[in-house]
């Protein structure tokens, strides 16, 4: 996460502006109760512990991040969904837009490659409604 933020990759990807000044909130764990569905199955998760790798906010847009240090073929949707739903529930008091990013980094001796994906949930209370908004690949080369 720090490489993506410090190299302004997150700024470029999310805001199309490498000099944007988003607020950044580091990794945290929290416990909460969430009501959601997986398709037609209704679920209440009480005292659910979740980890949020990074949260940014810029001009009323909140983005929650999950990061991995390798290129994985798939991922556990709940790692994006639970933080998304957590902030969605908080937004009832204000007008925030919420989205999610999945950031992958793989490095070797010559370069680092970062792949980043932006998602939303079309139905905020249904985990299966995940939708890819955009994605990009960044190559950081040693000189």
Q: Rounded distance, CA 5 to CA 25, Å?
A: 11
Select from 139, 143, 133, 141 the least CA-distant residue to 14. Answer: 133
Please give the pLDDT value at position 80.
92
Ordered per-residue pLDDT tens for the chain, 143 residues:
888 888 899 999 999 999 999 999 888 888 999 999 998 999 999 999 999 999 999 998 999 999 988 887 778 898 999 999 998 988 766 677 899 999 999 988 788 899 999 999 999 999 999 999 999 999 988 77
Spatial contact of 106 and 68, defined as CB atoms under 8 Å apart: no
Token digits for 93?
């008091």
Token digits for 91?
């937004």
- To which H or E segment does residue 83 belong? helix 78-90
Select from 132, 139, 125 the least CA-distant residue to 82. Answer: 125
């Amino acid at each position: 996460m720090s490489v993506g933020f410090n190299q302004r990759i997150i700024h470029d990807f999310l805001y199309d502006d490498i000099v944007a000044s988003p607020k950044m909130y580091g990794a945290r764990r929290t416990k909460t109760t969430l009501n959601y569905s997986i398709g037609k199955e209704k679920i209440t998760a009480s005292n659910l512990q979740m980890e949020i790798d990074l949260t940014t906010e810029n001009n009323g847009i909140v983005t929650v991040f999950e990061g991995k240090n390798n290129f994985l073929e798939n991922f556990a949707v709940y790692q994006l969904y639970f933080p998304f739903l957590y902030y969605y529930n908080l937004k009832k008091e204000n007008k925030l837009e919420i989205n999610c990013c999945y950031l992958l980094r793989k490095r070797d001796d010559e370069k680092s490659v970062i792949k980043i994906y932006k998602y939303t949930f079309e139905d905020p209370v249904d985990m299966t409604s995940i939708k890819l908004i955009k994605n990009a690949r960044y190559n950081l080369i040693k000189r």
